[in-house]
Structure 1
Amino acid sequence: MGEPVRIGHDKFNIGEGETARRELRVVKVSDDVIQVQEEVHGIIALVGASSSVNIKKEELRNLIRVAREEFGWTDICE
């Protein structure tokens, strides 16, 4: 896999005086597979059977841009 490209980041309050930090990254796994990674710091994570990534509209735009410009997926449209 290649080096991850950050496509989004933010901070949010999770409790009294506690802030969490979130970062969204994308990495090229192979010529036609990318992986979106969401990393959250400041929250105690529970292990479960499913996983999800929250993506904002601007982050999706960045994901499309990275897929086209950095990964060569020129057939992706905005």
Structure 2
Amino acid sequence: MCKHLEKLAQEIRKGAASVDGVDPKLWQVLETLQEDLLSKLSAAPKSDAPLITPSDLAEADEFVFGFPTRVSMMAAQF
């Protein structure tokens, strides 16, 4: 997860957590690029956020998505 996107996600999560009864979770999508290519792209280190699964999506009530870009395009995982 891009560090600036992760920071934004953490702030959104804090705001959502301030609402009674809301338990926001932060996930990331599995990286599909090989490590050598990521290093050539100077990709940010991986986040500590857990990887999301289809069952996580099915259990959620609401979503907020953030998409890092590569060469001005949405990352291929999405």
Same fold (TM over 0.5): no
Point out the structure with the larger helix share.
Answer: 2
- The structure with the larger Rg is 1
For normalisation by structure 2, the TM-score amounts to: 0.29
For normalisation by structure 1, the TM-score amounts to: 0.29
